[in-house]
Structure 1
Amino acid sequence: MIFEHIPHLHYIWLVVASTIAGVMNAMAGGGSFVSFPAMLGVGVPPVQANATNTVALWPGQLTSVAALWGDVRRDLLPTVAVTCVIGGVAGAEVLLNTPQGTFFRLVPWLLLGGTLLFGISGPVSRWLRSRATHPHEGHAIPKLGMAAALFPVCFYIGYFGAGGGFLAMTVLALFGVENMHELNAMKVVAALLSNLVAIVTFILKGAVVWHYCAISMVFAGIGGYVGARFAKRTNPAVLRFVVVATGCIIAAYFFWKQAQA
């Protein structure tokens, strides 16, 4: 445990990291790149750290869905919901049955993968907006095919999640959802539901470290409020660069830490 010899410093670190994560999520996304390593830093085992971090950051997704509900595609909602429930539970169950050492060895790869996904989401989002500007003729969306493509994404969200919302948005776009507002709303719904069933699984299996979860949840909420107030005043390209740089640095740290073990 990094801060075990300094009284209360582990709580201060978690407060700072959770606040920064809330700001990042409100302004650009990628808060898990800070809050998840913070859980590890205060001594929470890797699997429990991931579960606790998922629970702590989930309320922010709930408020986002409330704000975007008017853009949700009602015709796709049942298919997306069922896929998210099955995929999210499956991912959570696999996580809880992954040995701590194995998951810790996966951590830098998961962080690096999530960072790269976040990094390429900018160009892909511009492509998605261009599709929305020049839409194709309306056609029926093959729901079974969409569910099959969306399932591994929901599984990933239940297992780890960083960058999963972007993957969900990409799958939905490839299957014909071209309105950018609808894409964004359905992306948030997919992440919300996949994480919700994962959270229920984590709670039922006793995988959540509640005293750290409560601290992180409160201060991530405060950070989210602050970040939302400043989001429109900041250059999105700068924000994205900061998030990607942060993710790469933290992934590199965990690669180095494993090499030293």
Structure 2
Amino acid sequence: MTTVDGLGEALAVLGAGLGAGVLTSTVGVASLLSFPVLLAVGLPPVVANASNTVGLVAAGVSGSFGYRAELREHPRITWTVVVTCAVGAVGGAALLLALPSSVFEAVVPWLILLTCLLVGVQPWIGRWLRARAGEDAGARTRMGPVTTAFALLTGVYGGYFGAGSGVMMVAVLGLGLDIDLRVVNGLKTLAIFAGNVVAGIIFITVADLDWRAIALLAAGSVVGGYVGARVGRRLPPTLFRVLVVVAGVVAAVLLLR
């Protein structure tokens, strides 16, 4: 099996880890940076995907730590996100090992574009939902059945492939809850972390991995994850939403090529 070899390839993977860590804690499209780099240095697709998932666990650790204040604001939501994404990731990881990687290639870009549309129009949809509920309706600070179900499906997708899963989680939580976007960003980062941990455990047990690539990704992403959290928690809501939409559209276009 081809592995990361030489100083140039090692620096490329390390840099990809750093960038992916920042993206994990900001716009949530980390795999679209790190996964192609692993392919470029010669790793087979399934090995690259599984190694990428394990290596980016470090970004979730540091990113979630960076958002620790936001994650404490709604502990019930925080735990619901962790559980749903972890459970979903089990199914996603199983799908990755059982199905060819081409199964979702046709639908994933369009799914990401739809999610970008939902993120972009979320303020208008939120106002419409509040108006329909009436003035007496309180803020939605608990995940209802529909929001929980979509969070679970996002966890499945995250465990299977993961590219754009952060964008999807922003859409799910932004539409289903009335909480600050900085908190949504923290929850999105935690969701990616939970999914990567569970899928990573499965991959360590049954999949072929490149441990050199994993170590380099982890070293870069643990720094990038924390830096991204420091940036992400200070982004104005409108700018954050624009960046998420732009990142999602770029991701979809790259996947359509």
TM-score (norm 1): 0.71
CA contact (8 A) 2:122 2:175 kept: no
Superposition map of 1:58-207 within 5 A: 58-72=57-71, 73-98=74-99, 102-104=100-102, 106-107=104-105, 110=108, 112-113=109-110, 116=113, 119-120=116-117, 123-124=120-121, 126-127=123-124, 136-138=137-139, 141=142, 143-175=144-176, 177-180=177-180, 181-207=182-208
What is aligned with 1:251?
255
What is the DSSP-based 3-state SS (H/G/I as helix, E as strand, rest coil) of the residue aligned with 1:103?
Answer: coil
* Gap change, CA 1:229 and 1:139, over 3 Å in 2: closer
Cα offsets for 1:28-65 (capped at 9, x unmatched): 44232121011112222212211111122222222222
What is the DSSP-based 3-state SS (H/G/I as helix, E as strand, rest coil) of the residue aligned with 2:43?
Answer: coil
Count of residue correspondences: 247
Q: Counterparts of 1:103 and 1:152 in 2: how far apart (Å)?
A: 18
* Residue identity in the other structure for 1:205: V
Question: C-alpha displacement at 1:215, in angstroms?
Answer: 1.2
Cα offsets for 1:199-238 (capped at 9, x unmatched): 11111114331111111221234455666788779x8699
What is aligned with 2:46?
47
Q: Counterparts of 1:31 and 1:13 in 2: how far apart (Å)?
A: 15
Q: In angstroms, what is the RMSD of aligned CA positions?
A: 4.1
In structure 1, runs of 5+ residues without a counterpart are 256-261
What is aligned with 2:10?
11
Identity value in percent: 29
Question: C-alpha displacement at 1:87, in angstroms?
Answer: 0.9
In structure 2, runs of 5+ residues without a counterpart are none
CA contact (8 A) 2:62 2:225 kept: no
Q: Counterparts of 1:87 and 1:128 in 2: how far apart (Å)?
A: 26
* Gap change, CA 1:224 and 1:141, over 3 Å in 2: closer
Cα offsets for 1:151-208 (capped at 9, x unmatched): 2111111111122223233333443x20114433333332222221111111111433
Q: Counterparts of 1:142 and 1:223 in 2: how far apart (Å)?
A: 30
Question: C-alpha displacement at 1:123, in angstroms?
Answer: 1.6
* Gap change, CA 1:59 and 1:172, over 3 Å in 2: same
Q: Counterparts of 2:35 and 2:76 in 1: how far apart (Å)?
A: 35
TM-score (norm 2): 0.72
Question: C-alpha displacement at 1:89, in angstroms?
Answer: 0.6
CA contact (8 A) 1:117 1:166 kept: no
Cα offsets for 1:97-140 (capped at 9, x unmatched): 22xxx315755764x35763675465246558879x99952468
* Residue identity in the other structure for 2:251: G
What is aligned with 1:30?
29
Question: C-alpha displacement at 1:74, in angstroms?
Answer: 2.2
* Residue identity in the other structure for 1:20: G
